[in-house]
Amino acid sequence: MKLKAIKWLLLLTCLAPAVSLANDLEGLLARNLEAIGGAENWARIKNVRVRLTIEEPDFQVEATYVASRSGSMRIDIQQNGQTVFREGLDEGTAWQWTEADGVSIQNEQSAAALRHGIEFPGRFFTLMDLYLNGTSVALEGQVLEGDSTQWRVRVTLADDFSRDYFIDETTALIVREHDRRAFHPAADPTAVLIETRKEEPEWVNGVLLYRISRNINLETGEWLATTRVHSFEHNIELTEGYFNAR
């Protein structure tokens, strides 16, 4: 065999795993997209309102979370029927409100945490959306979790924050997530490795969403929080200035 031919053969041999991995990723993302409702149904979502209960070791509160595809959000926290805390993201600026201190502008770490809740898959976008718009989406291989085989997919946003999504081989659904972050950045900026487990999938307006999320500190095994969704709404009417600091 000629030297030139040998070089080409070696090059193709080296490239083959990367090409195969890319094909596997695209196939997996396509299966996931079909399993959660398809591109057309997800593209229709312009804003969301979620009413939920948040349970943590020291308290339980009710919350209303509202966000827009364009990148704004606000969450109102109620305890015993009274609003005790509110935070939001308005045109990139993070703010929070308490009755004692009124409104205060928050730092970039807090803004990033709120922004990530919109940018990552599950509110407005799918894994396929991120892949097609140029976000870094990489297939990290397979893992065994109990009796199930899961694909590990790493998504890295423009600010270099990454999250791993575990997709069940059989159902093509995301069943858990890993990321390293501060759980309450405004109160404690210390980053910990968190696992979020998704439970009770439900169809809402043609897309598959989850009613329950459980957060665990993977480094200590400590349970951090459970959120239980009571209702999902899409494309609601919002008053002018809804996301403004107030």
The per-residue pLDDT for range 135-189, each reduced to its tens digit, is 999 999 999 988 889 999 999 999 999 999 999 999 999 999 999 998 887 678 8
**In the predicted model, what is the mean pLDDT of residues 213-224?**
96
Residue-level length of the chain: 246
Amino acid at 69: R
Would the pLDDT of 15 be above 90? no
Residue pLDDT, tens place only, 84-104: 999 999 999 999 999 899 999
CA distance 63 to 233: 14
Question: Domains, the chain, ranges and CATH?
Answer: 3-234 (2.50.20.10)
CA distance 89 to 19: 40
pLDDT score for 187: 77
pLDDT score for 12: 45
CA distance 152 to 92: 30
Would the pLDDT of 56 be above 80? yes
Report the half-sphere exposure of 49 (CA within 13 A, side-chain side): 9
The residue ranges of DSSP E strands in 118-191, in sequence order, are 136-145, 148-156, 162-168, 174-181
Residue pLDDT, tens place only, 63-78: 999 999 999 999 999 9
CA distance 207 to 31: 14
**In the predicted model, what is the mean pLDDT of residues 195-212?**
97
Would the pLDDT of 41 be above 70? yes
Average pLDDT of every residue of the chain = 91
Helices within 133-244 (DSSP H only): none
Using DSSP, state whether 44 is helix, strand or coil.
coil
CA neighbor of 35 nearest in space, from 168, 152, 124, 176: 168
**Inter-CA distances, 169 with 38, 42, 119, 133, 141, Å:** 18, 22, 24, 24, 11
Which positions ≥6 away from 17 have C-beta within 8 Å? none
* Helix, strand, coil % in the chain, rounded to nearest 5: 25, 45, 30
CA distance 17 to 2: 24
Phi, psi of 150 (to 5 degrees): -125, 145
- More confident site: 218 or 187: 218
Amino acid at 188: D
Share of the chain above pLDDT 70, in %: 90
